[in-house]
Amino acid sequence: MKASAIANANIALVKYWGKRNKTLKLPYNSSISMTTEGLMTHTTIEFSKEYKEDLFILNGKTFKKGSKEYDDGVGRFLNVVRKKAGIRLRAKIMSYNNFPTAAGLASSAAGFAALALAVNQALCLNLNKKELSILARRGSGSASRSIFGGFVEWKKGKRRDGLDSYAHQIVPADYWQDFRMIICITSSREKKVSSRTGMERTVRTSPMYKAWLKTIDQDIKRIKKGIKDRNFTLVGETAQENCLKMHALTMTSKPSIFYWNSTTIDLINRIIEWKNQGIECYFTIDAGPQVKIICLEKDIKKIIKRCRYIKGVEKVIVTRPGRGARITNKHLF
């Protein structure tokens, strides 16, 4: 009843923003992401009679019942799993992220995708990838996408029980060999407003929310075509526009939410400038201040060199389309 899994974070090109069902984590809109190579969560889970209560250790820090991290995340997820498997056993979970947690780098996506896969193995649930995606979604919406590698679409689905709301692969990781993202960390501190709070507030108060939903089908269509044709301009332009629309939603919520800091804004301006100078690159930003530069392999060196001169850029990580979630026999305890 012990298993370990690794899953990579993913970065959305068409963002998931807003839930139609908070418990089941069902989205109002479909989304598309790239699974990132190298940014990963490694998780070990063990169910045992020995454990009197669940224990969750993330990057060396222990979270128990009563803590926000446990109650709203892993605790709730384990209860879903126990109900599904018809067991009452408690579990110990140890996880390690090799990138900043909760700073807009989709750590929850990698975390719950790895956990779903590890749970499936530990309890012999025999779930297929579609069912794993649905299970991971219960932990965090974006985790439904990290089950798969390469470029991935999460279809919003229509059903109230969420059984048609899961992800699938558009193309595998090696389909687009020279596609890259440069992640510029502008602050490793945890974000002030969680994506859950941000989404709730936006749906409730932003006058732009209906307009956002009207534009999604078009964005999905364009990005999918762009990926299949390896049309970098189409993917980059659409992703950047989609990101700006998402942030327009948070800024026009009441009270408004700004996920950006001054370095984020500086980077946005520079990226637009670089593009005008002939280095084709675009940006996307999630619910945090980090800027992800979408570019091609041939321009990596030039862009990184320029990023290093920008005040406030703490770290630069290069990533490319990566693998889906997988089992490992390396246990963390």
- Candidates 4, 8, 16, 293; binder of ligand PMV (CB under 6 A) is 16
d(CA 110, CA 20): 23
Amino acid at 62: T
Query: Would you count residue 153 as binding ligand PMV (CB under 6 A)?
Result: no
Q: How far is the CB of 49 from ligand PMV (least distance, A)?
A: 33
**Closer to ligand PMV at the Cβ: 15 or 270?**
15
Q: Kindly report the backbone phi and psi dihedral angles of residue 182, in degrees, each rounded to the nearest multiple of 5, phi listed first.
A: -110, 120
- Candidates 3, 7, 15, 271; binder of ligand PMV (CB under 6 A) is 15
**Closer to ligand PMV at the Cβ: 2 or 76?**
76
Q: Which range in 41-49, 105-113, 180-188, 234-242 contacts ligand PMV by CB under 6 A? A: 105-113
d(CA 129, CA 326): 11
Q: Which two tokens stand for residue 254?
A: 């009441």
**Closer to ligand PMV at the Cβ: 138 or 270?**
138
d(CA 23, CA 139): 10
d(CA 141, CA 62): 24
Q: What sign does the CA torsion over 172, 226, 20, 246 have? A: positive
Query: Would you count residue 165 as binding ligand PMV (CB under 6 A)?
Result: no
Query: Would you count residue 46 as binding ligand PMV (CB under 6 A)?
Result: no
- Candidates 54, 153, 219, 286; binder of ligand PMV (CB under 6 A) is 286
Find the largest Cα–Cα distance for the chain. 63
Query: Would you count residue 253 as binding ligand PMV (CB under 6 A)?
Result: no
Query: Would you count residue 142 as binding ligand PMV (CB under 6 A)?
Result: yes
Query: Would you count residue 121 as binding ligand PMV (CB under 6 A)?
Result: no
d(CA 76, CA 59): 20
Query: Would you count residue 283 as binding ligand PMV (CB under 6 A)?
Result: no
Q: Which two tokens stand for residue 108?
A: 């929850």
Task: Provide the 3-class DSSP secondary structure of residue 113.
Answer: helix
Return residues touching ligand PMV (CB under 6 A): 12, 15-16, 31, 106, 108-109, 140-142, 195-196, 286-287
